[in-house]
Amino acid sequence: MTTESTYTNLLKVKTDLQTQIDELQRDVEAVDRLLKRHIPAPTNGHKVQVASTASYQPIGNLPPGLLVDKAEDATTWKQKIIYIISLLKAAHADEVGKKIYDLKWAEDEKDGFKKATLYLSNLYGEGLLKADRSGRRYKYSI
């Protein structure tokens, strides 16, 4: 490998990592906003039951730019997960994780599953996906 190609590859890796860091920072900020808005602070060590207050938004009401037509157009994890759910119509986290791996967005199926569970949960919490529970598993759809 030449010095120039090594440099170019390192720049690409750096850019990819920075994009992921930016996405994670936005996710952390979103969680902080949800915590402040929807979850009361526990009192006297008693458990607090929290109901989801996010309302589901049908596909036509998704924020602009969140639903993409092609895998190549999905640049954020929210877009990637919504793209996969739109393809599969409805899916469990393991199915979404496998699709993430198939699309080469993860190093292996285990990494794909981790990403799927994180972002499916976030999108459900934001009301962008709906989920039907069957036992301990959720089946997500738009």
Q: Do 76 and 94 sit in the same domain of this protein?
A: yes
Q: Considering 51, 74, 91, which residue would you say is the last residue of a domain? A: 51
**pLDDT of the residue at 47:** 44
| Count of beta carbons in the 10 Å neighbourhood of residue 35 | 10
Q: Do 72 and 130 sit in the same domain of this protein?
A: yes
Q: How many folded domains does the chain comprise?
A: 2
**pLDDT of the residue at 58:** 53
Which residues constitute the domain of residue 109?
A: 56-142
Taking the C-alpha atoms of residue 69 and residue 53, their distance in angstroms, rounded to an integer, is: 30
Q: Do 36 and 65 sit in the same domain of this protein?
A: no
Task: Find the CATH number of the domain harbouring 136.
Answer: 1.10.10
Q: Is the pLDDT of residue 104 over 90?
A: yes
**What pLDDT, in 10s, does the model give residues 108-138?**
999 999 999 999 999 998 889 999 988 888 9
Q: Do 108 and 122 sit in the same domain of this protein?
A: yes
**pLDDT of the residue at 46:** 47
**pLDDT of the residue at 49:** 39
Taking the C-alpha atoms of residue 108 and residue 61, their distance in angstroms, rounded to an integer, is: 33
**What pLDDT, in 10s, does the model give residues 3-49?**
888 888 888 888 888 888 878 878 877 777 766 665 555 555 544 43
**What pLDDT, in 10s, does the model give residues 70-84?**
999 999 999 999 999
Whether the model clears a pTM of 0.85, i.e. scores above it, the answer is: no
Beta strands (DSSP E) in the chain are 90-92, 130-134, 137-141
Q: Do 47 and 69 sit in the same domain of this protein?
A: no
Q: Is the pLDDT of residue 67 over 80?
A: yes
Which of the two residues, 41 and 2, has the higher pLDDT score?
2
Taking the C-alpha atoms of residue 45 and residue 117, their distance in angstroms, rounded to an integer, is: 29
The residue with tokens 């930016």 is 22
Q: Do 114 and 141 sit in the same domain of this protein?
A: yes
Q: Do 32 and 95 sit in the same domain of this protein?
A: no
What is the length of the chain?
142
Q: Do 46 and 105 sit in the same domain of this protein?
A: no
Q: Which residues, 6 or more positions from 1, have their beta carbon under 8 angstroms from its beta carbon?
A: 9
Q: Do 126 and 98 sit in the same domain of this protein?
A: yes
**pLDDT of the residue at 85:** 94
